Structure 1
Amino acid sequence: MLALAGTATFVLTLGQVLDGQGIATADGPVTAWFVDHRNGFTTAVLTAFAFVFGPVALPVITLLATTAWALLTRCLWRPLLLAGAMVTGVIVTEATAHAVGRPRPPSTLMMLGADPTSSFPSGHVVGAANFLLVGAYLVFSRSTAISPPAAFSAAATGVILEATSRIYLGYHWFTDTLASASISMVILAFVITLDVTRGKQTPREPKREPSALNGCLQR
């Protein structure tokens, strides 16, 4: 259901963007509203979000997080799933942006320098959504410290803030960020599927006592 919802949202959004109809008609007014409400404090906060989930900082954060996670837990499965989700997001985003070739908002609205690359979808939002949503699932679906709904709510808040920063700073349209979130929904669905089906025994396979390493990899 998650994959279906994400795919449907992406396809509908892309169709309306290409036709310039439907939800795409809100792009101009939404951007104008954010531009009209710019202020120093909000700009500083959202610029920080843009940096953390940008193409320079986020790969470093992901590498450090997955490496530390693997070393501390001596488990590779969950860190590899997160790393795989991040790499997949980059590939899908770049391929889609090249295929669609949508222009960004006017460069006069961009607060951190001009960016001539394609606007649809937002790599920042895909990266943030994959890191936060997939990370929330992988960590808190197995933890009693924080309930999964609370973890996903916090992750979703972070994604919304990153999407807001991309519109506010003048680099993306609203529909770019919506499509980006839908891509991450599909990736999250595949991560969950891989995670919950891994290690299941076939009916003819005799049950074996799991080793410490196998038990770690399946958790």
Structure 2
Amino acid sequence: VRRGIPILLVYLERLRRWADARDTWTSRQIRSLLDPAQKETKILAALALLLVTAAWTFFGILEDVVSGDPLVRTDAAVYQILQDLRTPLGDSLMVSFTELGDTAVVIAIAVLVFLWLAWKRAWRTAAYWVAAIGGASAINTGIKVALHRARPTENLYSGWSDFSFPSGHSTENAVLYGFLAFLIARRVRPAWGLPVALAAAVLVALIAFSRLYLGAHWFSDVAGGLAFATAWLALLCIAYLHHQPTEKGAGGLLIVACAGLVVAGGANVYRRHAADMERYAVQYEAPSILAAAWWARDWQQSPVQRIDLAGEAEEPLTFQWAGGLERLEADLAQKGWRSPAPWTLAGALVWFTPHPGPIDLPTSPYIERGRLPSLTLVHPRAESDGTSSRFVLRMWATDIDLRNGHLTELWIGSVVDERLGNRFPLFTLAQAQPDANGPRDLLAASLGAGRLVTRADHRSTPVWDGQVLLAREGSIPANPGMGALPEGSASR
């Protein structure tokens, strides 16, 4: 700050002198941007940059949604994270926020603001207001109908509203309160401009987040809706500033808008809250399959690879377990598998030691489709070159129950080989190796029982041969091809 700002000011002064010495279109635009008296020019330049950035973001999200890029897999991860975090109090709050953004409330506030502008004879501003709300709603509906994207939760809405991308709540409320904040900020003292903008942004953010929390939209729906609304707002604000409306009759807009939000929003929450709590309730129904069917063929319904929070496919999921994790942990403990060090302050500081033990080093919390592992175990080993490494087993819930006289939980997992090294002084790195066969075979030998099966949808590679280890509590059937694995081997 001390050195950079003076240097920046020097170069800005040089740029201003260069522009003053010439009479071209470029030099005139530079003089306008650098002239302290030309505030509107700076605002127009900022809005133009915002328009380009928001439009690029929206079309990028749209391309990902249409082509099924990793962003779509991120949608599933974000959805799962938020559904796992839901609570009754959080549901009640988020339902209230989503009701404040319902179409009925948006229409009520839009009509009140329009009537106020008409009463003040601010006709040009009123025309922009109608174009802002009506145009955003029409374009949003057109994109929804064109894409026909399904919502995360079915049967929430009907008709055109049943489609998901982009989020109507996010788009309409961002345009409504964004353009309203723009109009108010131009008609109040400069000190009030920032609080008005922040209040509008917070309200829009809460409404948009409520759509994610309640499972009414995917993450890309909300992000796309906000990006489109920002681009649409920037375009309207540029046109509004270009025409320089002379009407001033909008001094009471803040009072009118707040009154509309309190009255219309409060009435909508009071009238619909009970029904909406039931509509947006968490769906706890978990699919179930026959245990015999899973053992024979339905194990292939489970995902092939772990998907991280960024939507990228990571290591293969080479283990499936039917039963309680306590039993699995107890069985593996007899073969040298241990729980890793917890993520405490003392545990985190172990990363800054040159040669920590494999058990003393905390493991990275890998995310599988939005879920943290329910069980993590570590099996240490020493390499011939003196370096240390460890096998790390992580297990995630599947929300699938197996029926076999009683319900049994089904878990999926991955086993990775992590090499511990010191690329930097006093800092240890745990680098996962690409090989998936060796760690899986070690796990099979530790269990001493199970079944190795080959996925039909995966081509064998040196990194992974496509085989998955199935295991379950109790005895393993002695049918051909389904026998127990002797300890220390992994028969294929």
TM range (shorter): 0.7 to 0.9
Give the one of 37, 42, 55 matched to 1:7. 55
Structure 2 CA distance for aligned equivalents of residues 157 and 23 of structure 1? 25
Query: 1:29 aligns to what?
Result: 77
- TM-score, structure 2 as length reference: 0.38
Shift of 1:142: 2.7
CA contact (8 A) 1:198 1:218 kept: no
1:182 is aligned to 227
Give yes or no for contact 1:97–1:119 (8 Å, CA) kept in 2. yes
Deviations 1:20-75 (A, max 9, x none): 2233321111111111122222222221222221122211221013213443x442
Alignment partner of 1:121 is 2:166 = yes
Q: Secondary structure at the match of 2:103?
A: coil
What code does the residue aligned with 1:55 have? T
CA RMSD of aligned residues (A): 2.2
Q: 1:67 to 1:145 in 2, by over 3 A?
A: farther
**1:166 is matched with which residue?**
211
Aligned match of 1:50: 98
TM-score between both structures, scaled by the size of structure 1: 0.82
Aligned letter for 1:176?
A: D
Contact 1:115–1:171, Cα closer than 8 Å, also in 2: no
How many pairs does the alignment contain?
A: 199
| CA deviation profile, 1:124-159 (whole Å, cap 9, x unmatched) | 111110011111111113311644333322222222
Indicate the residue corresponding to 2:132 in structure 1.
Answer: 85
Residue 88 of structure 1 deviates from its aligned partner by 0.6
Relative CO higher for 1 or 2, CA cutoff 8 Å, sep ≥ 6? 1
Q: Partner of 1:95 in structure 2?
A: 142
Equivalent residue in structure 1 for 2:237, among 173, 176, 192: 192
1:216 counterpart residue number = 247
Identity %: 24
Which structure dedicates a bigger proportion of its chain to strand? Answer: 2
Q: Find the residue that maps to 2:247 and give its secondary structure.
A: helix
Distance 1:215 1:61, change over 3 A: closer
Take 1:175 and 1:89, find their aligned partners in 2: how far apart are those partners?
A: 18
In 2: Cα distance, 1:45 partner to 1:30 partner: 19
SS of residue paired to 2:206: helix
Residues 29 and 81 (structure 1), Cα distance of their counterparts in 2 relative to 1, 3 Å cut: same
Distance 2:180 2:131 in 1: 12
Maintained 8 Å contact 2:75/2:219: yes
Q: Which amino acid aligns with 2:62?
A: L
Q: Return the alpha-carbon distance in structure 1 between the equivalents of residues 173 and 101 of structure 2.
A: 6
In the alignment, the residues of structure 2 paired with residue 69 and residue 47 of structure 1 have an alpha-carbon distance, to the nearest angstrom, of: 31
Query: Larger C-alpha radius of gyration, 1 or 2?
Result: 2
Residue by residue over 1:136-184, the C-alpha shift from the partner in whole angstroms, topping out at 9 and shown as x without a partner, is 1111133116443333222222221111111111110010011101111
SS of 1:31's partner is helix
Task: Output the CA distance in 2 between the equivalents of 1:75 and 1:163.
Answer: 31
Cα distance in 1 for partners of 2:207, 2:135 equals 19
Paired residue type of 1:123: G
Contact 1:89 1:130 in 2 (8 A): yes
For 1:178 and 1:78, the matched residues in 2 are separated by: 28
Aligned residue in 2 for 1:65: 113
Higher normalized helix content (fraction of residues): 1
Distance between the aligned counterparts of 1:216 and 1:164, measured in 2? Answer: 36
